[in-house]
Amino acid sequence: MEFERQRRELAQIDAVVRQLDELREEAGMSKAELARAIGKEPSSIRRFFTADVNPELKTVAAVADILGAKVEVVASGASSVSRAGKKRSPSATAA
């Protein structure tokens, strides 16, 4: 169960990083140019796009902003999550 959760988390992170890299390429911006634009070292941006790292959300947001994108969390599935992180059934959320 824990393995599956971690696998899903990594897949989501990878998908976000891949999409940002595609946007960077479409913008014709090198990794070094992107790094300078957000005040980071080029080596940290190269790692951001190529290494198995858990990128800081602040960096993800900065990269997205420079590339004209935004970071957004979208609920998946029919159930919602409470503040405590426990899934609730849709009928329990209706008031």
Residue whose entry in the numeric block shows the structure tokens 């940002």:
20
Each residue's pLDDT tens digit, 45-82: 999 999 887 899 999 999 999 999 999 999 987 555 55
Instruction: Quickly state the pLDDT bin for 89 (edges 50, 70, 90).
Output: very low
**Residue-level pLDDT at 95:** 42
Residue 80's beta-bridge partner residues?
88
pTM of the model: 0.76
Residue range of the domain that includes 67? 2-93
- Can you give the CATH number for the domain in which 46 is found? 1.10.260.40
In whole angstroms, how far apart are CA 85 and each of 10, 16, 20, 45, 79?
A: 19, 22, 28, 32, 12
Q: Give the amino acid at 22.
A: E
**Residue-level pLDDT at 22:** 97
How many structural domains comprise the chain?
1
